[in-house]
């Protein structure tokens, strides 16, 4: 009998996600997990979404349950075009496509922009989910190191000149995984170079609404609309289970995305789009965002205070002013993938940094999330982690 399952090269290349594997480990009862990137479920606006869903079904059920256009529900796209004005982004609803999560937006960027072996430029570390999405199109990664201000630009010109990259992928504001933000002057420099060498910038932006302290620079999309494709999502602002997000691309470019998405899934869940729009239109969004910001700001503060108190002095960490994550770096010799087993024994978990390095590195680093664990879990979890670090540092 001959072998039935001949997998595509794409399927054979796909590795199991380290995040999924780590999350499995952390399911052990009693483990305090800083591993996921989950919003606080106690703040999901369940009652308001229930009301919105009821209204949609009773008043517009026939449309909300029907097939619809690939680009998405027009009132939702109009709302988003208006909302983007708050950030200085001037776009027409025709430049916006609703996607099934930003993860689908990333996949679409891969499908539309990448052929086998094309180069993607990104910082190291960068968002793991983007690496996974792009990997299906077999790119090569050329990465630049990060400092406190996110991706550094020394060497970017040479990379653009010699590698003919197809995109620069960035999470410029409160990056997942490190919480770093690229300041305006650096954004400007990246855009100047991108424009000169004709390389689009993918600005993945789930976190600009989650500012807890200070202000953030304008989105890169506001600085140079023609060069930038911007992704936004309701996952961290309302609920990730809704899978409602959006992609903004220049006129002409957006048509390629719409055609590509049509082949993938026809359109994003119509009912969910209507429900989200109903929620937004009821004027509840800003109140809700204020509520989640208040809680996450508190959790971030508690985490930083606990880290300052318990962590050994050699352990460095970022102090973001927004988003959901911060980044920890141990002295060079410590391997955080090995250390994870020790940490889980002590009932605390994180994601090892190597997951966020598309071309290797990051062995002594880790990502921590502070939106999902409760305040008391944060204090206790950081204490446990500090014990794991102290043991590891004594051994080295
Ligand atoms: C930078 C970044 N991009 C995209 C996503 C995916 O978001 P979504 O739930 O909208 O697919 C995430 C989720 O954590 C993220 O952090």
Task: For 128-141, write each residue's pLDDT tens digit.
Answer: 999 999 999 999 99
Cβ 102 under 6 angstroms from ligand 1: yes
Measured in Å, residue 105 CA sits from the centre of ligand 1 at: 9
Measured in Å, residue 381 CA sits from the centre of ligand 1 at: 25
Residue 120 tokens, joined = 């993607």
What are the residue ranges spanned by the domains of the chain? 9-45+287-395, 46-281
Pocket test for ligand 1, best of 103, 322, 327 (most atoms within 8 A of CB): 103
Q: What is the mean pLDDT of residues 208-232?
A: 98
- Which of 15, 204, 219, 199 minimizes the C-alpha distance to 99? 204
Half-sphere exposure of 301 (CA within 13 A, CB side): 8
Give the model's confidence band at 18: pLDDT under 50 very low, under 70 low, under 90 confident, else very high.
Answer: low
Is 267 in contact with 291 (CB distance < 8 Å)?
no
Query: What number does the ligand 1 atom closest to the CA of 245 have?
Result: 10
Cβ 39 under 6 angstroms from ligand 1: no
Query: What number does the ligand 1 atom closest to the CA of 325 have?
Result: 16
Cβ 210 under 6 angstroms from ligand 1: no
Which of helix, strand or coil describes residue 244?
strand
Measured in Å, residue 312 CA sits from the centre of ligand 1 at: 32
CA-proximal residue: ligand 1, atom 7 (nearest): 102
Residue 144 has pLDDT above 80, yes or no: yes
Q: What is the mean pLDDT of residues 309-325?
A: 97
Strand order across the beta sheet in which 325-329 lies: 316-317, 325-329, 365-369, 351-352
Pocket test for ligand 1, best of 23, 127, 232 (most atoms within 8 A of CB): 127
Give the model's confidence band at 12: pLDDT under 50 very low, under 70 low, under 90 confident, else very high.
Answer: confident
pLDDT > 90: what percent of the chain? 91
What is the rounded CA–CA span in Å between residue 80 and residue 222? 14
* Average pLDDT for the chain: 95
pLDDT at 14: 77
Query: What number does the ligand 1 atom closest to the CA of 104 have?
Result: 11
Give the model's confidence band at 24: pLDDT under 50 very low, under 70 low, under 90 confident, else very high.
Answer: confident
Which numeric CATH code is attached to 46-281? 3.40.640.10
Give the model's confidence band at 396: pLDDT under 50 very low, under 70 low, under 90 confident, else very high.
Answer: low
Cβ 245 under 6 angstroms from ligand 1: yes
Residue 222 tokens, joined = 């506001």
Measured in Å, residue 51 CA sits from the centre of ligand 1 at: 26
Give the model's confidence band at 1: pLDDT under 50 very low, under 70 low, under 90 confident, else very high.
Answer: low
Query: What number does the ligand 1 atom closest to the CA of 233 have?
Result: 10
Query: What number does the ligand 1 atom closest to the CA of 106 have?
Result: 4
Does the domain at residues 9-45+287-395 carry the CATH identifier 3.90.1150.10? Answer: yes
Cβ 141 under 6 angstroms from ligand 1: no
Is 387 in contact with 347 (CB distance < 8 Å)?
no
Cβ 206 under 6 angstroms from ligand 1: yes
Burial of 348 (0-12, 13-18, 19+ CB in 10 A): buried
Q: What is the mean pLDDT of residues 62-66?
A: 98
Give the model's confidence band at 2: pLDDT under 50 very low, under 70 low, under 90 confident, else very high.
Answer: confident
Q: Rounded to a whole number, what is the distance in angstroms from the first to the last CA of the chain?
A: 55
């Amino acid at each position: 009998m001959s072998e039935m399952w001949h997998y595509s090269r794409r399927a054979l290349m796909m590795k199991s996600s380290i995040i999924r594997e780590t999350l499995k480990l952390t399911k052990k009862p009693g483990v305090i997990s800083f591993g996921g990137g989950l919003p606080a479920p106690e703040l999901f606006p369940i009652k308001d979404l229930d009301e919105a869903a009821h209204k949609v079904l009773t008043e517009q059920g026939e449309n909300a349950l029907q097939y619809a256009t690939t680009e998405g529900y027009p009132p939702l796209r109009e709302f988003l075009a208006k909302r983007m004005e708050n950030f200085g982004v001037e776009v027409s609803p025709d430049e916006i496509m609703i996607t099934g999560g930003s993860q689908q937006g990333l996949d679409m960027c891969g499908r539309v922009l990448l052929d086998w072996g094309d180069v993607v430029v990104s910082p190291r570390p960068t968002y793991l989910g983007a690496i996974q999405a792009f990997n299906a199109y077999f790119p090569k990664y050329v990465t630049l190191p990060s400092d406190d201000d996110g991706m550094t630009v020394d060497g970017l010109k040479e990379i653009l000149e010699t590698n003919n990259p197809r995109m620069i992928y960035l999470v410029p504001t409160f990056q997942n995984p490190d919480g770093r933000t690229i300041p305006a002057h650096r954004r400007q420099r990246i855009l100047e170079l991108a424009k000169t060498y004709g390389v689009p910038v993918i600005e993945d932006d789930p976190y600009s609404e989650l500012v807890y302290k200070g202000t953030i620079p304008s989105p890169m999309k506001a600085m140079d609309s023609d060069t930038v494709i911007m992704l936004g999502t309701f996952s961290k602002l309302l609920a990730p289970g809704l899978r409602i997000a959006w992609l903004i691309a220049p006129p002409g470019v957006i048509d390629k995305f719409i055609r590509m998405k049509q082949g993938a899934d026809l359109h994003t869940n119509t009912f969910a789009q209507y429900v989200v729009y109903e929620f937004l239109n009821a004027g509840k969004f800003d109140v809700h965002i204020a509520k989640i910001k208040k809680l996450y700001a508190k959790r971030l503060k508690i985490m930083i205070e606990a880290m300052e108190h318990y962590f050994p002095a050699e352990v460095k960490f970022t102090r973001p002013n927004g988003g959901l994550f911060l980044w920890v770096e141990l002295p060079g010799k410590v391997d955080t993938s090995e250390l994870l087993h020790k940490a889980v024994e002590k009932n605390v978990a994180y994601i090892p940094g190597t997951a966020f390095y598309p071309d290797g590195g990051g062995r002594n680093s880790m990502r921590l999330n502070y939106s999902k664990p409760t305040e008391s879990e944060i204090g206790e979890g950081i204490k446990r982690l500090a014990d794991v670090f102290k043991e590891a540092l004594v051994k080295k």
